[in-house]
């Protein structure tokens, strides 16, 4: 999603009513925040890739939580997970930034998201841009160490992926769970089976 599309989305999600007497800086706040209901960052969020995150936010705006990614460069790149989130938001929760360190088997990388929480028609949506940096054997290979993109997080699952409730923390866990469920569906027995937990 390009910058123009991202900016367009901000205005499509909500059509703010702007007070003509408000200052230019107040207009920016009105575009991204519904003063009547606020925007709540706490709880579970899901993006279009199938990733899940759980956020806790202190009264001062400190963000911490867990991230279960549905994508990784190679098997093990995201580590065993979950990966931990740390960041900050303003007091209203309308603008925020957070970072995740991926401590994988064969590489280490970090991703930072920055975005806005938009509240429209009783629905909270996180519209974000992200940048990922990963370590490589030769430090001069900057062109293959930096990636950028965008994510839209909602309270509703958009794609399947690793989930805290399933005890799956990364793409490998998720694939193993799918294989396990497929094997059980293929069995013609009434025995109750449970998905093995990871440690």
Closest CA to 57 of 87, 22, 12: 87
At 50-76, the pLDDT tens digits run: 999 999 999 899 999 999 999 887 777
Residue 77: partners with Cβ closer than 8 Å, 6 or more residues away? 102, 104, 105, 106, 107, 109
Length reported for the chain: 199
pLDDT at 39 over 70: yes
In the predicted structure, residue 149 carries a pLDDT above the cut 80: yes
What local confidence, expressed as pLDDT, does residue 109 receive? Answer: 87
Query: Domain 38-185 falls in which CATH fold?
Result: Lipocalin (2.40.128)
Q: How is the chain split into domains, by residue range?
A: 38-185
In this prediction, residue 32 has a pLDDT band, given cuts at 50, 70 and 90, of: very low
| 114-136 confidence digits (pLDDT tens) | 999 988 777 889 999 999 988 77
Contact 152, 126 (CB under 8 A): yes
Q: How high is the pLDDT of residue 33?
A: 39
- H/E element, 115: strand 108-120
pLDDT of residue 91: 82
**pLDDT at res. 16:** 37
DSSP conformation letters of 27-74: HHHHHH--TTT-----EEEE-TTS-EEEEEE-TT-EEEEEEE-S--SS
Note the pLDDT tens digit of each residue in 73-87.
777 777 787 899 999
């Amino acid at each position: 999603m390009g910058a123009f599309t991202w900016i367009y989305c901000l205005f499509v999600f909500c059509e703010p009513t702007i007070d003509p007497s408000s200052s230019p800086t107040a207009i920016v706040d009105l575009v991204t925040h519904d003063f009547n209901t606020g925007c709540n960052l706490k709880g579970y969020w899901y993006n279009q890739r199938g990733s899940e995150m759980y956020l806790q936010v202190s009264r001062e705006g400190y963000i911490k939580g867990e991230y279960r990614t549905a994508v990784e460069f190679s098997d093990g790149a995201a580590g065993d997970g979950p990966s931990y989130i740390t960041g900050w938001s303003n007091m209203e929760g309308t603008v925020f930034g957070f970072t995740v360190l991926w401590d994988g088997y064969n590489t280490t990388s970090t991703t930072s998201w920055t975005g806005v929480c938009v509240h429209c028609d009783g629905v909270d949506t996180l519209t974000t841009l992200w940048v990922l940096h990963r370590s490589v054997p030769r430090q001069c290979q900057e062109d293959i160490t930096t990636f950028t993109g965008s994510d839209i997080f909602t309270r509703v699952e958009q794609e399947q992926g690793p989930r805290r409730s399933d005890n799956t923390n990364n793409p490998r866990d998720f694939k193993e769970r799918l294989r396990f469920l497929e094997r059980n569906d293929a069995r013609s027995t009434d025995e109750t089976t449970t998905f093995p937990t990871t440690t």
